[in-house]
Structure 1
Amino acid sequence: MFFDKRKGVILRMKELSSSQIRQMYLDFFKEKGHEVMPSASLIPHDDPTLLWINSGVATMKKFFDGSVVPKNPRITSSQKSIRTNDIENVGHTARHHTLFEMLGNFSVGDYFKEEAISWAWELLTSPEWFAMDKERLYVTVYPKDTTAKRIWNEVAGVPKDHIYEVEDNFWDIGQGPSGPDSEIFYDRGQKFNNLAEDDPENYPGGENERYLEIWNIVFSEFNHKPDGTYEPLPHKNIDTGMGLERVVSVFQNAPTNFETDLFLPIIKQTEDFSDGKKYGQVKENDVSFKVIADHIRAVTFAIGDGAIPSNEGRGYVIRRLIRRAVMHGQKLGIEQAFLYKLVPVVGQIMQSHYPEVLEQADYIAKIVRSEEDRFNETLKDGLELLNEMITEAKDKENKQLSGKTAFKLYDTYGFPIELTKEYANDQGMTIDQAGFDKEMEQQKERARAARGNAKSMGVQKGLLTDIKTESSYIGYDCLKSNGILKDIIFEDKIVDRVEKGSAQLIFDQTPFYAEMGGQVGDTGIIQDKQGTTVAEVTDVQHAPNGQNMHTVKVLFPLSKEKEYILQVNKQLHDKTRKNHTATHLLDQALRDVLGSHTHQAGSLVEPDYLRFDFTNLGAVTKEDLAKIERIVNEKIWENIPVETVETDFESAKKLGAIALFTEKYGDVVRVVKVGDYSIELCGGNHVDNTNELGLFKITSESGVGAGVRRIEAVTSKEAYEFLEKHNQLLEDISAQLKVAQLKEIPHKLDQYQAEIKELEQQKQALEDKFAQQQAGSIFKKVEQIKGKTLIKAQVKVSGMAQLRQLADQWKSQKYSDILVLATVTEDGKVNLITAASDEAVKAGLKAGELIKAIAPSVGGGGGGRPDLAQAGGKKPAGIPDALNAASKWLEQMA
């Protein structure tokens, strides 16, 4: 039992809910001085090495490799994560999941082993926290990590016989931070151990269900260098992970993770959809219940974070999960779409920590329903293909389906391999598993190649991390100021003076904006007190500790601690801030027109244009684009004041400010308000009044990924120039059409289109007449081959449409058994058509096989039905060979 401080009551261990466990973990480390970081989106931000956020530490990379220094070096979180490398095991094991939560506490160069171990033990065993039985807890250590072993025993008080040395306890993912780790196990008792008492695996860390790993503490203290050696890190870190699903199963005394309050409500709802099946009665059915419960959690959160089902990347994962769940639904007798009805159930379970799921439930359910309906159509085609392949294999007396066929069913139709195996087994057949695995591995290689070879975590460097200079940004109020040069980085070294070349500079204060929130960094010049330009600023980025770091081209020597004049390029800065304000107006206009589900997926604010990425299922219609553009311009014409307010994050949310999951917000945030129309958290530069934008014009709308659209637009001078360019184009068109006014262009074009249509009809009539004349002579030339008749010829017609007309005429008059016609199109390509009479098809002469035999002669290929087939090619000179090949084919087949 333990005391719940928030509710003021004593609870028994088995009464502790998943929400309470999660909150108590975060509360404990908050009391230890940790910042509680919200769960990041499942979609990685600026990390090409990851398809999904797959652990708590994945969101901490920038802190651990030193590229960013956190405001608070102590961080705790409950991070939602997705892993799909073991998807086939989900439902068959006690603890495999696609979506899971990782509770973690992290130290970035702050506390180390003694605190991490002591606090872990306190949280687990203290009566006012988790109150676990100390006798049931065991720990493992790396054999060479004598320090950790001593702390567990002497400081935490863990008996020596509860500490095991394990050689594998060393966390290493290649180049970057690494180090020994300690795992904590909970002894669930003999009833959870299916192994014999004397089994060598019956120990903490062994392959058994009795000793359940609930926590892993990594002592990150080495850099794994590119040459394979290890060196001490400049700053040692702590990285821990406690799987929420696992620890909940301990508190709720559940045989597996699925018998907890994280999954059971989903399973119970699925029971209601089934044809009377109940969880816990039939093992095969239980697998299906578990798969559905697991997959709908992952799908719900993934879609909620902006991913959309598709045939590639993250979208492919979502599509696969939905289809796998649908197939298992069918095994439970669920014939209609049902997964979408489970989305609100997931939202209710997770509401305490993830309220956004219920807020987006309607949108998420809509996407899931659409995908379910799509798969139910595909499912029929997949089953037909599978039955065809089984029949074909039986005809050849083959008792094994090829791995290629199984993979096609899996990859194209979403059939899990186990489903294909079941269908094959019912027919007395097996699957070429090795062939399937080969195809799967090739696909994984393609996916890995697509993500590139970027490092998963950079080697920690102390150079920039150690720069703690106080520096302030004053560019909201001025674009020219004095600043004392505090740090110079030249050729990866901190120096006191630089003569020429490229360098990075940090001043005590600066008017130069550092790239952030999509807005590019400022450019400009640095002058000495005499007004001589000594450096050109080409870019500004944030240093790890947050200072604005200026990348400059040094023209004359620069010295540390000397005062300089910093001057921003005002013209480019003003154009950039106009475009930044326009993105805020565009963001809100998109929500107004397309719906509240639309949210920002990225942006770029340059001086000459703006780019805005957003989530949406399909292309934005021309009508909606016009509405969006009109709304933004109306807000410009309304002369709305733009004001900024600095406040705390919670107050900003109460104001209705929109926050982005890709950004991390500090204690004080900046709210940009465009009247009451747009309210967003933003640290960028903006105009004082919307009328400064002058004009807003969308220049393009396109797709950049599954469910992500992109709008590019211009404002002010660039918008005028864009419209002027198009106006000049219209003037040129009107001159060519010989109309006096632009408004007459549509009428003139209608006239020309009518004339063109009439001419095309006349041309078609002449071509038909000419084709008929050719047919009169062609159909008289019949070749006799082994009792069968063949008509073959090269004709002069416009293309495949007229070849089909000739074939229809041939068939209606029954001129021969087989017909082969070829023509050369106006662009120099070859069209071939073959046809077989009903009698010929019955005799085994198929047009589709014939076309495959002759098409290579013209450098092409094709196919079709037994009675009619066609092909294309690019070698007109090969037509005589193709016609001769037709005669040889008939001679062989007749």
Structure 2
Amino acid sequence: MIVNILKVEKEKNNYKIFVEKNPLYPDGKGGQLGDRGQIDKANIKYVDENYILVDRELNVGENQIKLDKNNQKDISKQHTAQHIISAIMKDSYGLNTVGFRMSEEYSTIDIDKRISGDLINKIEDISNEKVNENLDVYEKNYDRSEAENLSLRKDISEKITEDIRVIYIENLDASACGGFHVKNTLEINMIKIIKTENIKNGYMRIYFLAGERVLNYLKSSESILNELGTILNTNKEDFVSKITKIIEENDIQKKELDNLYSYKANNLIKNLEPFKIVNNINIFYLEKEDESFEYVYKNFDKENFIFILKDNDTYKIQSDSVNVGTLIKSINNEHSTKGGGGKNNGQIKGNISFENIIDLI
């Protein structure tokens, strides 16, 4: 395939090339990934309807395109898998697909209701049953008036004015779509739903993989499990009991550590003397050594005081005698530090010393 480059523009570390009659499928159209491959020796990184993003500069004029067929096969599997999942959810459970997006790691389907994990598992099982039923996937083209009379899974966008391409999955689905698809469901091999999340408007987002992406996911999961087995020094079958025991032990240790920090903090507060007295206000100052100093800060109970805790380049300030927020604003104006606070507490960060703070009290 030959493409005629009309103009080249540098875009950070890449190059935008503007071509005559862009022949490549653009990223994001119908939620799908775009074409990948090479133009001359430049790798295609992104395809827009108006330009192609590549990783090296190209000459204006005719250049050879070599498309990545494996990328197209992968996209076709993900996209057809989406049609299968969406058709099953629509026909069997009345769930409408309201969004679809494909990335290089996973694909997502947004549906108009939130459903249980059990139903998600059932949808995955049925989807894989359909994959293994050896269903033909084919396309037909219609003019707009013909397409309006078809029984399709979703309405045709009013933005589409030209002929309509409909993708059929034998005895399962008919949907207007311009993307890449397999010829037969067996090409997909397997569909795996990896997670879900609730999103706005009461919708749910379903993350899924298809084809070789499932195999790669399983290999990665297996590798992680093997590594965990080595770390935990146990078999996979015993992971739950082993991790549960570790969490319980950790909770006990955390409580013991909290008690130790609290005890140390109480002693620090009890024996803490003012570092300095300014305008009859007791200035207390500590530099953080461990978490017990946070307990001191949270439980400080002196009167007529300003307490400053230094944590690396951050100063945490609290007081019952001056407005901490106003003090921090003064420090920011004087020293170009960053921070803020309210009437009784706040914090500030930057190149500043304890003495700089004291000077502005």
Short-chain TM bin: 0.5 to 0.7
Q: Are the structure 2 counterparts of residues 711 and 515 from structure 1 closer, same or farther at C-alpha, using a change threshold of 3 Å?
A: farther
Letter in 1 for 2:160: K
Does the 8 Å CA contact 2:195/2:208 hold for their aligned counterparts? Answer: yes
Shift of 1:696: 1.7
| Partner secondary structure for residue 224 of structure 2 | helix
Match of 1:633 in 2: 128
Distance 1:721 1:767, change over 3 A: same
Q: Secondary structure at the match of 2:160?
A: coil
Superposition map of 1:279-678 within 5 A: 515=25, 518=32, 520=34, 553=64, 573-588=72-87, 598-600=97-99, 603=101, 611=107, 614=110, 629-647=124-142, 649-657=144-152, 658-661=154-157, 664=160, 666=162, 669-678=164-173
Matched, 1:870 2:346: yes
Q: Following the alignment from structure 2 to structure 1, what is the Cα–Cα distance between the partners of residues 205 and 97? A: 12
Alignment of 1:700-715 (within 5 A): 713-715=208-210
Please tell me the root mean square deviation across aligned C-alpha atoms, in Å: 5.0
Equivalent of residue 226 in structure 2, options 731, 736, 740: 731
Per the normalisation by structure 2, the TM-score is 0.66
8 Å contact from structure 2 (residues 262, 292) kept in 1 = no
Distance 1:757 1:521 in 2: 51
Tell whether the 8 Å contact from 1:822 to 1:833 is kept in structure 2 after alignment.
Answer: yes
Aligned to 2:296: 803
Residue equivalent to 2:13: none
Compute the displacement of 1:800 (Å). Answer: 7.3
Deviations 1:266-316 (A, max 9, x none): xxxxxxxxxxxxxxxxxxxxxxxxxxxxxxxxxxxxxxxxxxxxxxxxxxx
Give the drift of 1:724.
Answer: 1.0
Report sequence identity in percent.
Answer: 18
* Higher normalized contact order (CA 8 Å, seq sep 6+, divided by chain length): 2
- CA drift at 1:736: 0.8
Q: Of residues 870, 879, 887 in structure 1, which corresponds to 2:354?
A: 879
1:870 is displaced (CA, Å) by 2.6
Aligned to 1:760: 254
Letter in 2 for 1:580: H
Q: Measure how far apart 1:854 and its partner are.
A: 5.8
CA gap 1:644/1:852 in 2 versus in 1, 3 angstroms: closer
2:177 maps to 682
Which residue identity does 1:776 align to in structure 2?
Answer: K
What is residue 793 of structure 1 aligned with on the other side? 285
Matched, 1:849 2:342: no
- Mapped to 2, the partners of 1:831 and 1:489 lie a distance apart of 60
Shift of 1:739: 0.6
Note the alpha carbon deviations across 1:512-534, whole angstroms, 9 max, x for none: x963754745979xxxxxxxxxx
The aligned amino acid for 1:871 is: Q
Greater share of strand = 2
Deviations 1:613-659 (Å, cap 9, x if unpaired)?
Answer: 75869x99977865664553343244444344455545544442134
**Distance verdict in 2 for CA 1:853–1:684, change over 3 Å:** closer
Indicate whether 1:822 and 2:317 are aligned. no
Local SS of the residue matching 1:679: strand
Using a 3 Å threshold, how does the CA distance of structure 1 residues 489 and 793 change in structure 2: closer, same or farther?
closer
CA distance in 1, matches of 2:225, 2:246: 17
**1:20-419 counterparts in 2 under 5 A?**
none
Q: Distance in 2 between matches of 1:819 and 1:686?
A: 68
What one-letter code is carried by the residue in structure 2 that aligns with 1:862? G
The structural deviation recorded for 1:699 is: 6.0
2:331 paired with 1:861: no
Distance in 2 separating the partners of 1:789 and 1:633: 73
Contact 2:136–2:185 at 8 Å: present in 1 too?
Answer: yes
Aligned residues: 325
Residue 738 of structure 1, CA deviation: 0.4
CA distance in 2, matches of 1:785, 1:520: 67
Change beyond 3 A, Cα 1:823–1:523: closer
Superposed CA offset, 1:820-852 (max 9, x none)? 23243xxx343423221xxx5xxxx44443454
Tell me, yes or no, if the aligned pair for 1:790 and 1:819 is still in contact at 8 Å. yes
CA distance, structure 2, for counterparts of residue 880 and residue 626 of structure 1: 63
Cα pair distance change 1:732/1:692, threshold 3 Å: same
Matched, 1:722 2:217: yes
Is 1:835 matched with 2:319?
A: yes
Give me the whole-angstrom Cα distance separating, in 2, the residues matched to 1:835 and 1:778. 16
| Long gaps (5+) in structure 1 | 1-484, 493-501, 507-512, 525-534, 544-550, 555-566, 811-815, 890-894
Distance 1:852 1:623 in 2: 54
Contact 2:283 2:305 in 1 (8 A): yes
Structure 2: how far apart are the matches of 1:662 and 1:747? 56
Give, as a single letter, the amino acid of the residue that structure 1 aligns with 2:181.
H
Where 2:307 maps in the other structure, the secondary structure is: strand
Q: Which residue of 1 aligns with 2:14?
A: none
Q: Which runs of 5+ in 2 are unaligned?
A: 7-16, 50-61
